[in-house]
Amino acid sequence: MKAEIHIGTSGWSYKHWRNIFYPEGLKTTDWLKFYAQHFNITELNTSFYHLPKPETTKGWAKKVPHGFMFCPKMSRYLTHMKKLNDPEESFEQFFDVFTPLKRKLGPVLIQLPPSLHFHADKAEHLYKLCKKKYAYYKFAMEVRHQTWLEKESLDLMKHYNITFVIAQSGTRFPYAENVTAEHIYVRFHGPQQLYASSYSEEQLRNFAGLFKQWKKDGHSVWAFFNNDVFGYAIVNANQLIEMCK
């Protein structure tokens, strides 16, 4: 697969983007189609809270052009409630829903709670499931406890080609620029106030330099802005897209 840089936002269905991004009078059912005229990827945060129906995912696929990609977030039932235990059932339910989007999926995001420590056996069990039963898909782990940044954890990710998510959030979550797989996944949560602060031109230019180097090294980059308040995500995503040209 050709190395590429993909940049978008963490979802598109934000009511406060009306008149900031979405024109007045545009129906909410047309927001995805409008979004896809400006960006070629989006995260699916809704699947973290509740899985959509297969009919819904089929509808999304029809509203976007060829080449548009979705990066869905694994259900919090697995990550926050079951703490990664017995992932088989959760994976089966998740991929039953997203099979209609199979050819339009980028990496699947697995976001862990801050309280979840690294446990080698539990992590390897999850990674083996990813590699053996769901080898078609790519997976990215957003970890929020420092133990996941230790060598044993990162070596496991490298062995199973699991992407370490680079999460920029000021000092809120652990930050490291670890490259553990062919694909690199970056999330921008806001440099000061979480979800409600904008990135400076200098910060974005630094990331643009990183992205270009990673692409040169043969990695595809998936980057999402999650600072949706006041529409900062839209502005910052467009700025970074221009800088990466």
Q: How confident is the model at residue 55 (pLDDT cuts 50, 70, 90)?
A: very high
224, two tokens: 């999402």
pLDDT at 59: 95
Asked whether residue 130 carries a pLDDT value surpassing 80, the answer given is: yes
Task: For residue 168, give the 3-state DSSP assignment.
Answer: strand
pLDDT at 40: 97
Asked whether residue 1 carries a pLDDT value surpassing 80, the answer given is: no
Which helix (DSSP H) or strand (DSSP E) does residue 155 occupy? helix 151-160
Q: Which of 200, 86, 110 is nearest to 160 (CA)?
A: 110
pLDDT at 20: 96
Residue 215 corresponds to which amino acid? K
Task: For residue 18, give the 3-state DSSP assignment.
Answer: strand
pLDDT at 124: 98
Q: Please, what's the b/e burial string for 54-69 (b: 16 or more CB within 10 A of its CB; e: otherwise)? A: eeebeebeeebeeebb
Asked whether residue 123 carries a pLDDT value surpassing 80, the answer given is: yes
211: Cβ contacts below 8 Å, ≥ 6 apart: 5, 221, 223, 240, 244
End-to-end CA distance of the chain: 19
Q: Please, what's the b/e burial string for 86-108 (b: 16 or more CB within 10 A of its CB; e: otherwise)? A: ebeebbeebbebbebbeebbbbb
Task: For residue 113, give the 3-state DSSP assignment.
Answer: coil
Structural domains of the chain ordered from first start: 5-243 (3.20.20.410)
Q: Are strands 183-188 and 220-225 parallel, antiparallel or unpaired?
A: parallel
Mean confidence (pLDDT) of the chain:
97
pLDDT at 100: 86
Q: Which of 147, 176, 143, 179 is nearest to 161 (CA)?
A: 179
Asked whether residue 137 carries a pLDDT value surpassing 80, the answer given is: yes
Residue 114 corresponds to which amino acid? P
pLDDT at 195: 96
